[in-house]
């Protein structure tokens, strides 16, 4: 199994503040996928969800990719 990685250039939540499907549907929400990266500028008040995958907790189930509304599927599995 691999670990998901979010492509911020394609992600609706990162680009337009208008999604979060991967975050809301992850079976390990707030562990494997968090609502924003730690210590980031997006942690400021008022910022919407900025999904960030924690590679230490991601189980590689692919749910984030399955529920992604972007045609290119912004969650990519990385191996190795």
Q: State the average pLDDT over residues 51-78.
A: 84
pLDDT at 73: 65
**What CATH number belongs to 3-78?**
3.30.70.20
Predicted local confidence at residue 75, as pLDDT: 62
- Write down the pLDDT at residue 25: 96
Q: Which residue pairs, CB below 8 angstroms and at least 24 apart, start in 12-17?
A: 12/69, 12/70, 13/48, 13/49, 13/50, 13/51, 14/50, 14/51, 17/47, 17/48
Q: Quick: pLDDT tens for 2-49.
A: 888 888 888 999 888 789 999 999 999 999 999 887 766 555 555 678
């Amino acid at each position: 199994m691999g670990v998901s990685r979010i492509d911020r250039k394609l992600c609706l939540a990162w680009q337009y503040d208008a999604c979060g499907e991967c975050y809301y549907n992850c079976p390990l929400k707030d562990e494997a996928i968090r609502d924003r990266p730690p210590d980031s500028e997006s942690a400021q008040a008022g910022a919407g969800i900025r999904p960030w995958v924690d590679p230490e907790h991601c189980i590689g189930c692919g749910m984030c990719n399955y529920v992604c509304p972007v045609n290119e599927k912004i969650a990519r599995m990385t191996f190795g």
